[in-house]
Amino acid sequence: MSAPLTRLARKSLLNRGVSVGLTVLSVALSVMLFLGVEKIRTGARDGFHATISGTDLVVGARGGAVNLLLYSVFHLGDPTANIGWDSYERVATAPGVAWTVPVSLGDSHRGYRVVGTTPAYFDRYRYGRRQALRFADGRGFDGIYQAVIGAETARRLGYGLGDEITLSHGIGEVSFAEHTGHPFQITGILAATGTPVDRSVLVSLESLEAIHAGWDSGVARSGAQAATGGSGLQPDSVTAILVGTDSPIRVLSLQRQINTYRGEALSAVMPGVALSQLWRVIGAGETALRAISVLIVFVGLSGILTALSAGLNERRREMAVLRAIGARPQEIFALMTLEAAAIAFAGALAGILAVNLAFLAVSARVMRRYGLDLGQAGPGLTDLGVLAAVTLAAAVLGSWPAWRAQRNALADGLSIRL
Amino acid sequence: MMPGRPAHPAAIDIGALRHAWPGEADILRIDRFHVAAGERVFLAGPSGSGKSTLLGLIAGITPCQQGRVAILGDPVGGMSPARRDAHRAAHIGVIFQLFNLVPYLSALENTLLPLRFSPQRAERVRRTGQTPVTEARRLLDVLGLDETTLGKPATALSIGQQQRVAAARALIGHPGLIIADEPTSALDRESRDGFIDLLNSECARTGAALLFVSHDTALAAGFDRHVDLRDINRMAIAA
Ligand SMILES: Nc1ncnc2c1ncn2[C@@H]1O[C@H](COP(=O)(O)OP(=O)(O)OP(=O)(O)O)[C@@H](O)[C@H]1O
Ligand SMILES: [Mg+2]
């Protein structure tokens, strides 16, 4: 019973090649858009959640968790206050603490944030699935007036190893106060990570101290002089501390300990928790994006409805002939819904293939340039789900013209009016 | 065959039939209309008198509202819609006035179509020792369609060719009854006469009954019997 129908549906669709082809194309384009948005969306979300990993606590001055995360990890906005160096030492030596990396923010270079830290940063900062930072070129800093730059900083500003840059006080793109007396030499360029590290300039805490010492006194000390006096360059405060513990079970008690530390008002947050909180804020846009792309798929599908409904009258004879040969009204209905589903299936399949090919073509480049992991190339479960959902939705939509065709066929009897 | 059923039940046996289209007065009131097995009947009647309506009832496309409609011994009038459709697929060949063919199928595929909708008809072809395709080719050849037209899409055929493909499609698989609703009205005189001769001789050869509708009584010559709808339909008399 259904064998003649699938055959009829196929021949009928092939016969209307151009118009059916255009409908298939519109479904394909809408599915491409949907899957493209979906893949970028999940890539962005996963990338966001993977901004920092392997760090158990981020410690800063007393304040909200999201705010602390924003300035310490995303380099957005300003810290409410700094942490005294003695507090840093207390945290670093607290029982259960395996390692600490201090982070000092406040300077910039042509709009890119300068991060003062220790060489341990390059070993301890992890992102994604606990991936370590990697040098695309050069090595870390081991003295003052040396800088390591992130992948995007290097690419956008066109810097290479050995180039000299000057830092400016404050974080504006156009700074009014330049530390012009102390050029920094670039010793290393990091590989892309898809995290804010890509947009930063990393220098040692001592280097920051050195330029600020010169700044404070109002007299620029010479680089050689500052370098030799290393012991005098200990900072008296930092912006935040990345903390790793001996064992995950110590994290909560350590967090409580830091939060209740009497010497200074501190906040310790677990990055994973704060990231989730932050994503809930950003996620609203994500939901809107998704809703729009779903709507676009429906626009694509409604093209099927239009195509089938438009052909309904000219196919009235054909349906009457099929009825005369012995086709049941349900078979007329099935033929029409089958055609709708077949158009949607072909369109969705084409869209899925195109998106996957496109991602295959660009994902390596996106990974290299932006560090954004677009997920596995090649059709996945989402693609199968979309294929099934689109086909089913088209069959449901197609049941409207199908029902009309069936009703016509029943009403016409043997005497079809032309 | 069912026990107690006559060897050759009437092709059409109608009694006390009444039919009205929704919202309209009765168009048909037929006390008795009978076509014997293998009989070829010419049915005439003016336009709008209900000829097509009667054919729809006989084919089982239009549900029977009141009365008895038995086709080849089967009480089509009382069947469920699904069984009526299956009965039509297996036992009745239909030829329309125009546009008989499924436009996106070739002449050959159109001819084969009834075999795909009725296993019974396909089985009857197989019992003659033919394959569906050879049988379709044979019929198309008998009806005067040459080899080159068989693969052409239906829309590429002339009207005369289309009608002959429709006749081949109605005849394939040996249905017991062929109903033709003014199949020659769009043909010129020569092809019209040829068409009627071929249809008659093929029905005679296979033993199928033929109910041929036309308002052109000049065509009635080759048929066993000539019936005017006005003579059997009491509504027409009243009108
Ligand atoms: N499917 C239908 N639905 C509603 N009314 C119908 C239908 N088919 C026919 N009628 C009506 O029934 C009446 C008879 O029509 P029918 O087609 O049976 O006449 P006919 O004898 O075949 O005429 P013609 O020679 O012009 O083909 C007409 O008034 C027509 O409007
Ligand atoms: Mg008619």
Give the Å distance between the CA of B25 and the centre of ligand 2. 18
- CA–CA dist B184, B196 (Å, integer): 8
Q: Which DSSP symbol is given to B131?
A: -
Residues A111 and A91 in one domain: yes
Residues A248 and A131 in one domain: yes
pLDDT at residue number A416: 62
Read off φ and ψ for residue A56, nearest 5 degrees.
-85, -35
Q: How many domains does chain A fold into?
A: 2
For residue B220, pLDDT beyond 90: no
Residues A124 and A195 in one domain: yes
What is the tens place of the pLDDT at every residue in B175-201?
Answer: 999 999 988 888 888 888 888 998 999
Q: Do B52 and A413 touch (CB under 8 A)?
A: yes
Q: In this structure, what token pair is assigned to residue B2?
A: 């069912």
Residues A275 and A292 in one domain: no
Q: Which DSSP symbol is given to B226?
A: E
Residues A203 and A292 in one domain: no
Distance from CA of B82 to the nearest CA of A (A): 7
As a whole number, mean pLDDT of residues A3-12 equals 83
As a whole number, mean pLDDT of residues A126-133 equals 87
Of chain B, the percentage scoring pLDDT greater than 90 comes to: 45
The number of beta carbons lying within 10 Å of the beta carbon of residue A83 is 26
Find the helix or strand (DSSP H, E) in which A185 lies: strand A184-190
pTM above 0.80, yes or no: no
Find the helix or strand (DSSP H, E) in which B93 lies: strand B92-95
More confident residue, A213 or A149: A149
Distances from the Cα of A193 to the Cα of A57, A146, A175, B152, angstroms: 21, 21, 27, 63
What is the tens place of the pLDDT at every residue in B83-120?
Answer: 999 999 999 999 988 888 998 999 999 999 999 999 99
pLDDT at residue number B94: 92
| Segments forming the whole domain that contains residue A19 | 3-49+285-414
Q: How confident is the model at residue A54 (pLDDT cuts 50, 70, 90)?
A: confident
- Which of A220, A251, A282 corresponds to the end of one domain? A282
As a whole number, mean pLDDT of residues A346-352 equals 93
Q: Do A413 and B56 touch (CB under 8 A)?
A: yes
For residue B13, pLDDT beyond 50: yes
Residues A105 and A44 in one domain: no
- CA–CA dist A206, A187 (Å, integer): 16
For residue A197, pLDDT beyond 60: yes
Residues A82 and A103 in one domain: yes
Residues A100 and A200 in one domain: yes
For residue A230, pLDDT beyond 80: no
Residues from chain B contacting residue A7 (CB–CB below 8 Å): 116
- Which of A282, A297, A332 corresponds to the end of one domain? A282
As a whole number, mean pLDDT of residues B221-228 equals 90
Nearest CA to ligand 1 atom 2: A412
Note the Cα A88 to chain centre separation in Å: 33
- CA–CA dist A84, A103 (Å, integer): 12
Q: How many helices (H) and strands (E) does chain B have?
A: 9, 8
Q: Do A14 and B104 touch (CB under 8 A)?
A: yes
Read off φ and ψ for residue A98, nearest 5 degrees.
-90, -40
Of chain A, the percentage scoring pLDDT greater than 90 comes to: 31
Minimum mean pLDDT range among A94-98, A158-162, A313-317, B49-53: A313-317
Residues A154 and A169 in one domain: yes
Find the helix or strand (DSSP H, E) in which A381 lies: helix A381-412
- Which of A282, A300, A318 corresponds to the end of one domain? A282
CB A240 within 8 A of CB A161: no
Q: Do A413 and B62 touch (CB under 8 A)?
A: yes
Minimum mean pLDDT range among A174-183, A252-261, B66-75: A174-183
Supply the mean pLDDT for chain A: 84
Q: Do A324 and B52 touch (CB under 8 A)?
A: no
Find the helix or strand (DSSP H, E) in which A169 lies: strand A168-169
More confident residue, B5 or A401: A401
pLDDT at residue number A291: 87
- CA–CA dist A372, A380 (Å, integer): 19
pLDDT at residue number B49: 87
Supply the mean pLDDT for chain B: 88
pLDDT at residue number A11: 86
Residue of A350, A398, A342 lying closest to A14 (CA atoms): A342
Cβ–ligand 1 distance for B119 under 6 Å, the answer no
What is the tens place of the pLDDT at every residue in A61-95?
Answer: 998 888 898 888 888 888 888 999 999 999 999 88
For residue A216, pLDDT beyond 60: no
As a whole number, mean pLDDT of residues A286-311 equals 84
Residues A277 and A388 in one domain: no
Q: Say whether A315 sits in a helix, a strand or coil.
A: coil
- CA–CA dist A386, A408 (Å, integer): 33
Q: In this structure, what token pair is assigned to residue B152?
A: 């052409």
Residues A270 and A314 in one domain: no
- CA–CA dist A54, A305 (Å, integer): 52
Task: Return residues with CB closer than 5 A to ligand 2 (ion).
Answer: B 52
pLDDT at residue number A220: 42
Q: In this structure, what token pair is assigned to residue B13?
A: 């046996």
Cα-Cα-Cα-Cα torsion B66, B72, B76, B81, nearest 10 degrees, comes to: -150
Residues A268 and A292 in one domain: no
Residue of B133, B138, B222, B147 lying closest to B180 (CA atoms): B222
By 3-state DSSP, what share of chain A in percent is helix, strand and coil, each rounded to 5? 55, 15, 25
Of chain A, the percentage scoring pLDDT greater than 70 comes to: 89
Give the Å distance between the CA of B45 and the centre of ligand 1. 12
Q: Which residue of B has its CA nearest to A13?
A: B104
Question: Cβ of A6 under 8 Å from any chain B Cβ?
Answer: no
pLDDT at residue number A314: 80
Cβ–ligand 1 distance for B56 under 6 Å, the answer no
pLDDT at residue number A303: 84
Question: Cβ of A9 under 8 Å from any chain B Cβ?
Answer: no
Give the Å distance between the CA of B54 and the centre of ligand 2. 9
For residue A418, pLDDT beyond 50: no
